[in-house]
Amino acid sequence: MSLKEQLHADVVVHMKNRNKVALTTVRNVLGEIETREKSGKTPIELDDAQVTSLLQKEAAKRRDTARIYSEAGESDRAAAEIAEAEVIEAYLPKALTLDEVEAIVDKEIAALKGEGQELSMRSIGAVMKPVTAKVAGRFDGKAVSEIVRGRLS
C-alpha cells in the first residue's frame, strides 16, 4: 500500500474514531498532495518519496508555526499545531541514527574500493549517489555530505 493510499484509508479510520484533529490534518495533507499533483502543465502522480518529502515539509511548517505561537503567548494554538505535526510525523519513515548513516557510508565506500576504484575527494558524487538513495528522507542530506567528505579526506 502506497503512502497516499494509507492516508486515504486513514481518513475513514479517523472518521470512525471521531478523531477530529487527525481527520482534519490528514485531509489537509491529502489536499496538499492533490494540489501538487494537479499544478503545472500536465498532471502527475506523486510517488512515495515525493509524498514523504511533502509530509516532512508540512510537519516542519507546523512545528515552525507552533514555535511562533508559543513565542507570542498563544499556547493553545501552539499545542494544536504540535498535535497536527505529530499526526503527520506518524506517517514518516523512522529517522536513522548517526551510527547507522556512518555504517551505510562505510559500506558504500568499501563496495566502491572493492570494485577497484581509487577514491578521493573528486569521487564524492560516486559515493553520495547510492548513499543518498538509501538514506533519503531519513537523515539530513547536508550531514550525510559532511560524513562522506570526512571519510574521503
CA distance linking residue 106 with residue 125, whole number of Å: 15
Q: Which pLDDT score is estimated for 81?
A: 93
User: Quick one: pLDDT at residue 21?
Assistant: 93
pLDDT of residue 1: 78
Query: In b/e form, how buried is each residue of 6-45, taking b as 16+ CB within 10 angstroms?
Result: ebeebeeebeeeeeeebbebbeebbebbeeeeeeeeeeee
Report pLDDT digits (tens) over 88-120: 989 888 878 888 888 888 888 888 887 777 777
Give pLDDT < 70 ranges for the chain.
none
Domains in the chain with CATH codes? 3-89 (1.10.1510.10), 98-152 (1.10.10)
The helix/strand/coil state of 41 is coil
Chain centroid offset of residue 73 CA: 29
Q: How far apart are CA 69 and CA 128, in angstroms?
A: 38
CA distance 109 to 103: 10
